[in-house]
Amino acid sequence: MGVVYDFAANAIRRIYDARISGPPVLDAEQLFPDAARFIAAWPELRLEALQLAERLQSVPRFHELMASQAEISANDGRDWRMFVLKAYGAEIRKNLTVCPQLAALLATTPDVLSASLSFLGPHKHIPCHRGPFRGVLRFQLGLSVPLDLAGRPAAVLRLDDQEHRIGNGDALLWDDTFPHEVWNRSDEVRIALLLDVRRRGMPFDMAVLSRLLIRAIGTTVRWTAQG
């Protein structure tokens, strides 16, 4: 399955790379104006995430949700757990009930296609990789981010050879089709909200292709959840 995933991801990426360009970090105010609502609510979202963290062993590791991601999730024996509330438009209702504040925000933000709480274990390293689909953008909001000895966020996102430290209440809108990797250089779990947001302003043919891909992936998610 990993070979099939890689082949499909590379094919899709080539199509989008030929038609859409842009920097790795983008202007949230312009491309995802609802970002401000999530940032304003971060203390409440943090509390929901911390309550969930109290039973963290019940949250699946990323490769348990997607076996094709084992190379970046199960690479070093350290935990990377993902609590998925929405995936390409398909709602995971039992998970939405656990986080009512976040669920309410998602219900009024149609541009958000996927939403997860990411729990990155102590000293976990996510190796360099690229997302497959330039039709969506990644929004990341720090909810519970440990600090290093210098008082900086200890979790580091290296995106297109530039380091970003997204602390508590800080956010970044970025294109995950650029090469990126992540370290949690601390003894604590780092918690972040990850949203996949519909990319605005694409050429018409790319917008149509994106809608078809999103619908197909969302249908697959629904079938899997029902099964």
Domains of the chain and any CATH numbers: 2-226 (2.60.120.330)
pTM: 0.88
Q: How far apart are CA 48 and CA 46, in angstroms?
A: 5
Using CA atoms, how far residue 29 sits from 17, 25, 136, 173, in Å, is 24, 12, 16, 10
Out of 41-50, 128-137, 152-161, 201-210, pick the least confident: 201-210
Dist. CA 214–CA 56, nearest whole Å: 29
How confident is the model at residue 134, as a pLDDT? 82
Q: How far apart are CA 161 and CA 27, in angstroms?
A: 19
Cα separation, 153 vs 40, whole angstroms: 20
**Residue 41 near residue 161, CB atoms below 8 Å:** no
CA 164: distance to chain centroid?
A: 15
**pLDDT at residue 144 tops 50:** yes
Q: What pLDDT digit, counting tens, does each position of 200-218 carry?
A: 877 777 778 777 777 776 6
Q: What are phi and psi of 2, to 5 degrees?
A: -65, -40
Residue with tokens 């757990």: 81
